[in-house]
């Protein structure tokens, strides 16, 4: 069964460093999302992406964040200068079309900022 994959599973970085989190969505899906979950808190929407551009972004998704679909298969989330409060589990999700069907989530990348 097709699945969303994410790499790395765990990333440790120093504050102020740039990180890139990678996702490979399901191949025939058109809509892509990033969510995050700070330990002990709710899963929160960060950004949605369709047709090579951002569809919607949350207040969390400030200028330090960017997303890209560089090669037609990968979908990346970049954090330019990480802060301690960026430590969280980051989930990628993909979605086939616009009819509000099931969203499929990847296993997540645990980001630890020291």
Partner 1 sequence: KQEVTQIPAALSVPEGENLVLNCSFTDSAIYNLQWFRQDPGKGLTSLLLIQSSQREQTSGRLNASLDKSSGRSTLYIAASQPGDSATYLCAVFLYGNKLVFGAGTILRVKS
SS3 state at 18: coil
* Residue among 61, 9, 12, 52 nearest 34 (CA): 61
d(C-alpha 76, C-alpha 70), whole Å: 8
Binders of partner 1 in range 23-52 (CB under 8 A)? 31, 33, 35, 41-45, 48
For residue 12, give both structure tokens.
């440790």
For the CB of residue 114, give the shortest distance to partner 1 in the complex, in Å.
19
**Residues between 66 and 105 that touch partner 1 (CB under 8 A):** 89, 91, 93, 95, 98, 100-105
Contact residues toward partner 1 (CB under 8 A) are 31, 33, 35, 41-45, 48, 55-56, 89, 91, 93, 95, 98, 100-108, 110
């Amino acid at each position: 069964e097709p699945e969303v994959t994410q790499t790395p599973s765990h990333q440790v970085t120093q504050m102020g460093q740039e990180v890139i989190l990678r996702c490979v969505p399901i191949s025939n899906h058109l809509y892509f999302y990033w969510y995050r979950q700070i330990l002990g808190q709710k899963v929160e929407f960060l950004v949605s992406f369709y047709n090579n551009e951002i569809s919607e972004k949350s207040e969390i998704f400030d200028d330090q964040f960017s997303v890209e679909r560089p090669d037609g298969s990968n979908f990346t989330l970049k954090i330019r200068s990480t802060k301690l409060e960026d430590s969280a589990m980051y989930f990628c999700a993909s979605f086939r079309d616009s009819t509000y069907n099931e969203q499929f989530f990847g296993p997540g990348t645990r980001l630890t900022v020291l």
